[in-house]
Amino acid sequence: MKIKQLIIPFFAILLAITSCTEKTTVAKKDLSSTPETKSDAKMESFLDSLTKIMTLEEKIGQLTLMSTDWEKTGPTINENYKNLIKEGKVGNIFNAYSVKFTRELQQLAVENTRLKIPLLFGYDVIHGHRTIFPISLGESASWDLKAIENAARIAATEASAEGIHWTFAPMVDISRDARWGRVSEGAGEDVYLGSEIAKARVRGFQGDDLFATNTVLACAKHYAAYGAPIAGRDYNTVDMSERELRTTYLPPFKATVDAGVTTFMTAFNDVNGVPASGNKYLLTDILREEWGFEGFVVTDYTSINELVPHGVAKDNKQAAEIAINAGVDMDMQGGVYMDYLKELIADGKVTEHQVTTAARKILTLKYKLGLFSDPYRYCDEIREKQLLMTPEHLEAARDMARKSAVLLKNSKQTLPLSKDKKVALIGPLANDKYNIIGSWTAAGDRYTKPVTVLEGFKEKISNQANLFFTQGCEINSDNISDFQNAINIAKKSDVVVMVMGESEGMSGEAASRTNLDLPGNQKELLKAIKKLGKPIVLVLMNGRPLTLEWEDANMDAILETWYPGTMGGYAIADLIFGDANPSGKLTMTFPRNVGQIPIYYNVKNTGRPYEANGPEQRYRSRYLDVANSPLYPFGYGLSYTTFKYTNFAIDKKTYEFKEKINISVTVTNTGSFKGEEVVQLYMRDLVASVTLPLKELKRFEKVMLEPNESKKITFTLTSDDLAFYTQDMSFKAEAGEFKLFVGTNSEALLETNFTLK
């Protein structure tokens, strides 16, 4: 019985190896998923047989993930990885891509190990694989769930065409601290929006069929609360109430489980005293038992080993024991499961059953990907040639870059520029291919493929003699040698466009900053140009909210483009010259200064709220030296047109629990450009058994309007949308008075009231 079942897949593997050279056959076969391969009963019986004949060492091999030496995304590299694959000690690989390399490594596993179990290939495909989209924070500013899903879909198509089966994305860490460099990888500060985007990304990566060769496993990371390190310093301690954890930091993770995410990655940080990579409460009690997650959990890079410096394990062996007992299935890069699980079983600290259970979860997903029927089914040179950086992918990236940009200021309609103006283009990021695609760029080319702003401008300006360019300064230095050239070309021009910001390495992992001004002498150059009295457009590229008080006061227009990706230069030119209209809205609050951080829109009132016109000013929750309000609030972003909100209405004044609350508002384009608006609906529970925020985003809709066009937007809520963690931590709504707000950002809002009884 056992032998028969196992012969079938190995026979299939053998067949696949032979047909891998017959490319057309493979490509054709991959278009359809055969019912046999997808049958659960068949899979379970295959896995029963397989796990029964696997030795303990072979199972531990499945629990081990190692990086190649192609790329280093953490502190250590194990150069012996190829031998470990051959010995069956490493069943999963990351930081490898391309058909050639993944096939070479797959062959090591399939041709040398006793059971020929195929490798699983993981990679950080975060915002694109070859075609690089805007950084995740930028994409989130589009508030366009379909476009976000499509970006993930394209990333999965390209990555899987290069042998990848699994992406370490989406990162769904909510963050309210712009000092933390990894805010660039997430979807911003809001729970509802963050959860919707998390689901869209999972759908995009995984599609609806894991067996299809253009889908990959997604991985919700970094579980949990990694976005709340004390003082914004990466990897730092996280200490928060259970209420805050469940209200703000866990919902996007839960949303990914609901969307069918197949894997989870633990975080580096500790949460309330227990490191996330050894945290049974998070990994077993909540993730598996409460939420019913059935996939596997991988650690972050060497984060089991890091239980030792965290001070909860005396050595790596004890760290491995803590991790597996907490619910970690796969060890990324640490090698401690490989080194110690066998001993731990012999010592009676861990059972073989635990190892088998973990291995089975991993084997299940390998099976669902179709790797047992053909380990090389993602290794097809034809698909690799056909599916990378296609015109369609590049166009989607350009569109996403346009949608992600946020117009922060546009006084006297400085933008859009007319194409016959004399333009001085200045700044360290104006003709920079390397940085424009941001950090975590997978297999993205930083040297030849990205389109710079200068290249984008050349396509737009009617007479090339009207376009002047110089870099002016560097991103982060005090070199002023090009200042004078910048001043000279600015003098000759009608308008100056300055492209400035951070280098890609200034945000992302291990890139926390305490000063969020434009780095180096960029502001000095802005000041020098400002003296000339010409209109100045500041185009920003950066991975986080910056402190821009001076720029806001002194620039004529400011366009935040994040790191806009491969097609960034074209997209920016589309926006600057009015071939497209900005519609992005901030998903993270921009502070006035670093002292306000953490700053976010859905604050609570406090017992002593500050009121600017209140009778008493002294004993109030406020700063003496800066306003409480941000420079730019959550949800904020301008357009070349204007939108008016009217007829904000609800269908009743009093609702029963579970009854539908039907809400409507009319939005009119009152300007002269066609444009898209993100209509935002917020809610406040006025009196509850616990303190609640002044506003919480509940729904949004993106709508395109021609000049003078109006559309009625409708939203529906029920009491489920009004639920929160009550004093006894049950999640439910309470009867009482509520406010609803609708508008163009989290501050400019129409209001209405209703009662829930």
According to the binding rule CB under 6 A, does residue 331 interact with ligand NOJ? no
Contact 127, 135 (CB under 8 A): yes
Instruction: By CB under 6 A, name the one of 97, 249, 296, 301 that touches ligand NOJ.
Output: 301
User: Could you tell me which residues come within 8 angstroms of residue 700 by beta carbon, excluding any fewer than 6 positions away?
Assistant: 143, 193, 678, 679, 680, 681
Contact 251, 696 (CB under 8 A): no
From 144, 177, 300, 374, active-site residue = 300
Residue 148: closest CA among 201, 185, 111:
201
Nearer to ligand NOJ, 93 or 539 (CB): 93
Shortest distance, position 544 Cβ to ligand NOJ, whole Å: 16
Nearer to ligand NOJ, 221 or 368 (CB): 221
Question: Residues 169-208 vs ligand NOJ: string with x where CB under 6 A?
Answer: ----------------------------------------
Contact 733, 683 (CB under 8 A): no
Cα–Cα separations (whole angstroms), residue 590 to 57, 511, 542: 52, 18, 12
Nearer to ligand NOJ, 438 or 582 (CB): 438
Contact 567, 205 (CB under 8 A): no
Q: Which residue is nearest to ligand NOJ (CB)?
A: 73
According to the binding rule CB under 6 A, does residue 168 interact with ligand NOJ? yes
Shortest distance, position 172 Cβ to ligand NOJ, whole Å: 11
| E strand residue ranges, 52-176 | 64-67, 92-94, 120-123, 166-167
Nearer to ligand NOJ, 224 or 537 (CB): 224
Q: How many CA atoms lie within 13 A of 152 on its CB side?
A: 30
Residue for token pair 């397989």 = 50
According to the binding rule CB under 6 A, does residue 124 interact with ligand NOJ? yes
Shortest distance, position 386 Cβ to ligand NOJ, whole Å: 28
β-bridge partners, 696: 683
Token readout for 362 is 């991993």
Shortest distance, position 180 Cβ to ligand NOJ, whole Å: 12
Task: Burial-class residue 654 by CB neighbours within 10 Å (0-12, 13-18, 19+).
Answer: exposed
Nearer to ligand NOJ, 124 or 144 (CB): 124
Shortest distance, position 124 Cβ to ligand NOJ, whole Å: 5
Active site residue 300: yes
Shortest distance, position 206 Cβ to ligand NOJ, whole Å: 17
What 307-312 contacts at long range (C-beta under 8 Å, 24+ apart), as own/partner pairs, is: 307/275, 307/277, 307/278, 310/270, 310/275, 312/274, 312/275, 312/278
User: Could you tell me which residues come within 8 angstroms of residue 253 by beta carbon, excluding any fewer than 6 positions away?
Assistant: 172, 198, 220, 223, 224, 264, 287
Write the DSSP symbol of residue 95. Answer: S
Nearer to ligand NOJ, 124 or 384 (CB): 124
Nearer to ligand NOJ, 74 or 736 (CB): 74
Shortest distance, position 182 Cβ to ligand NOJ, whole Å: 8
Write the DSSP symbol of residue 591. Answer: P
Residue 305: closest CA among 297, 313, 295, 296:
313
Shortest distance, position 295 Cβ to ligand NOJ, whole Å: 16
Shortest distance, position 173 Cβ to ligand NOJ, whole Å: 10
Question: Distance between CA atoms of 193 and 126, rounded to whole angstroms?
Answer: 18
Instruction: By CB under 6 A, name the one of 5, 51, 73, 642 that touches ligand NOJ.
Output: 73
According to the binding rule CB under 6 A, does residue 74 interact with ligand NOJ? yes
Q: What are phi and psi of 67, to 5 degrees?
A: -85, 150
Question: Distance between CA atoms of 594 and 591, rounded to whole angstroms?
Answer: 7
Residue 462: closest CA among 420, 494, 510:
420
Instruction: By CB under 6 A, name the one of 221, 310, 398, 702 that touches ligand NOJ.
Output: 221
Residue for token pair 């809400």 = 663
Nearer to ligand NOJ, 127 or 221 (CB): 221
According to the binding rule CB under 6 A, does residue 509 interact with ligand NOJ? yes
Question: With contacts defined by CB under 6 A, how many residues of the chain interact with ligand NOJ?
Answer: 8
Nearer to ligand NOJ, 149 or 300 (CB): 300
Task: Burial-class residue 277 by CB neighbours within 10 Å (0-12, 13-18, 19+).
Answer: buried
Which are the catalytic amino acids? 300
Residues that bind ligand NOJ (CB under 6 A): 73-74, 124, 168, 221, 300-301, 509
